[in-house]
Amino acid sequence: MDRFTALAVLPEVETPLRAPRPQPGSVGRWARLDQNWDARLAAPAADLAIVGTTAWLKDDFDALLGHEGDRDSAPIHDLLLPDIGELGTWSTRIYTSSHLAEHLPLPEDLRAVILDGSAAIKYIQCIESSAVFCVIDRSVADETAAEILVQMRNSRGESVSLPQDLNWLAPAGVEALAFTVPL
């Protein structure tokens, strides 16, 4: 090694970890993460949490993410840097939905939380974060998660227009519902 491009003090770790250097890929460049990529790898923000079934999340993290027709796709774990014990540095906290109650309340420094699946969404009332995203699997016959969200929107929420307020149109095959609630 002939030079350093970023350096940060890490908390103590029980076992030294070594992993290949993640690459931002086309989506990371599109989001301009590549502009401070080395600093991000050295000292990531750690302000995102994902709650779900860990084995399924690991499969999702291995999926490639890129722009259509682009050859420079990167695994999702290269962008999210999940804390699943395989990386020397991480920026996304992972919680298993079956054990989430043991970790509540979640840390206050989280800026966003993703609740993946019905087992995670049932905890939405306990989550205090600037942004909460819920992923509902419509292939499952159980509508409990969707009912929880619609009831929350109808009783405490104020609707948000995806195209007007967020400048986003859901792609074909994706249902999206956005609303705000007081913390």
Digit-coded pLDDT (tens) for 23-64: 899 999 988 999 999 888 888 888 999 999 999 999 999 999
The pLDDT of residue 161 is 87
For residue 24, is the peptide bond before it cis, meaning its omega torsion is within 30 degrees of 0? no
The pLDDT of residue 159 is 85
The pLDDT of residue 20 is 81
Chain position carrying tokens 């949490």: 49
Report residue 142: phi and psi, to 5°: -75, 125
Q: What does the angle CA 120 – CA 73 – CA 76 come to, to the nearest 5 degrees?
A: 20
Q: What is the pTM of this model?
A: 0.82
- Residues (pLDDT < 70) of the chain are 1-13, 16, 86-88, 141
**Cα gap 172→46, rounded to integer Å:** 31
